[in-house]
Structures are given as C-alpha cells and as structure tokens.
Amino acid sequence: MRTLKLTVAYDGTRFVGWQRQARGPRGARLRRGVEVEGESIQGLLEEALARFEGGPVTVQGAGRTDAGVHALGQVASAEVTCTHDAGAILRGLNSSLPLDVRVVCVEDAPGGFHARFSALSKTYRYVIRNAPVASPFDRAFAWHLSEPLDEDLMRVAAHALVGTHDFAAFQSAGSETSGTVRTITRSELTRQEHVSLWGKPYEAGLLYEISGDGFLRHMVRAIVGTLVEIGRGRRSADSMAALLAGRARSQAGATAPPHGLFLVRVDYD
C-alpha cells in the first residue's frame, strides 16, 4: 500500500463542489429551485484513479470547496496499491479528467499522510473586480462591484482578523464542525493593476488573501461580504472586532458569491 499526494487545480464553475455527493460522483444540486445533475471533483478523481487501481479508490481533500469555488492548489491524498511511477499516474489522470480539472503534481507521501488532517495551513484568495465595467473573462472568476469602495477601511478591518479568535459570526448553518476558534496568520487586501488581452491597462482588481490553520463553512465568503459592507460605508471598520466578540452570524455581512473564491495552496510540515 502506498499513499499518493495529488496537487489539483480546477475551474469550479460547473461543479457541485469538491465533495462527492450522496448519489455518487455525479451528484445533484438545486438551481433556481430545480434539481440539476452535476459532478464533484472528488468523484472525478476517484473514477480516474480507479482505472489505475482496478477497483474503488477513496480520495481525501484538504478543503471541501463549495459549488462554483475554484482551486489553484487543492491537495488530495489516496491510498493505492498500483505500482505505476508518479509521472505515469500524472499523465494517466489528466488524460481521463475533463479539461477544467488538472492534476499538476503527483508525489509519493509518507505513510499516514492525510490531505486534510496533516495540513498545517491553508490560503484562500478572493477576487473583486472593482470597476465600472467588468471584462467578460472575469464573469466566472471575480465578484464585480462597480461602486467605489473605501479600501483603507477594508484593510484595517481585515487586519483585525489576525490572531486566534472565535469565528462563529462568519460560519454558515449546516457546518459539521463543533469548534469555531481558528488562528489566522494573514489577512490582507491588496490592489493589483492588470493588463488586458488587448494590451491596454485595465481597471484594478482587489485581492483579499487569508491564511490560517482552518476555516469554517463559508467563512471566507462571509468575511469578504462583511469587508465589502465596510468598504461601502454601511458599517465601521471597528465592527469586525465586535463581530469576533459577539459570535452572531446575523450581525455579519452577507455571504459573497462563490465564483470569486480560490483555494490557493495548502501547507504541510
């Protein structure tokens, strides 16, 4: 038996999320009240690995990204008995997977390695296109906000999250996690200029990046929704610290759309 560590990138637009659904790899979700078929990243990887293994394979992910959320460096682990070298597995998986899912690295991991439970830290990025008009190429990868935002206030509020706090105010209902205390090591908002495909400067995008030892369900999106309300002047920057003390989800901002969120990387010892 060997343990594989897979680093995976995907465009989450059309997927039900990372997690395999109860109905199998091709699960279902509701869209405007109508049940539609969808695929999970976990299910697709398990199907692709089963071709090497000659039987069922369980793939564990470092983070359970939701429907519409993307990944640049999701990490997965799987125990297999196949003897193919890592390069052959990499090529074989990508030949089986759809083009919006790519395995970018396959490694042999030490025994006992688990993508989720061995992780020390995760980093997420949320992209806001703060411009009068958004590029059509941004529509699935950024939250478009045309009105001006007070970035300085948003940066002050973001910094208040660094440290060990109770993030219950930023957790959506339905979480399987009992504890809500997490340690955040980085919480920063930056502005980046972009160059368009036609070579002219494009309006700046706002990038929010956060790193920590763990995240609650919809936590990053709830934080971003709160930061945007601060940027719009609908609440003060000081309210972020009050939310950490108050623990009430109803007092925080709305949950930001999923399509601006990326799992950037997962760090291990």
Tokens 């299910």 sit at which residue?
43
Q: Write down the catalytic residue from 11, 66, 100, 238.
A: 66
With beta carbons less than 8 A apart as the criterion, state whether 19 and 57 touch: no
Q: Which of 64, 65, 256 is nearest to 142 (CA)?
A: 256
- In angstroms, rounded to a whole number, what is the distance separating the alpha carbons of residues 12 and 185? 26
Pairwise CA distance, residues 149 & 206, whole Å: 10
- Find the radius of gyration of the CA atoms of the chain: 19
Contact 17, 28 (CB under 8 A): no
For tokens 């719009």, name the residue.
232
Q: Which amino acid is at 166?
A: D
The residues near 197 (Cβ < 8 Å, ≥ 6 apart) are 137
Cβ-Cβ contacts under 8 Å for 13 (sequence gap 6 or more): 68, 70, 100, 140, 259
Q: What angle do CA 247, 186, 180 make, to 5 degrees?
A: 25
Residue type at 59 in one-letter notation:
V
- Look up 66 and say whether it is catalytic: yes
Tokens of 197: 């495909």
Q: Which residues form the catalytic set?
A: 66
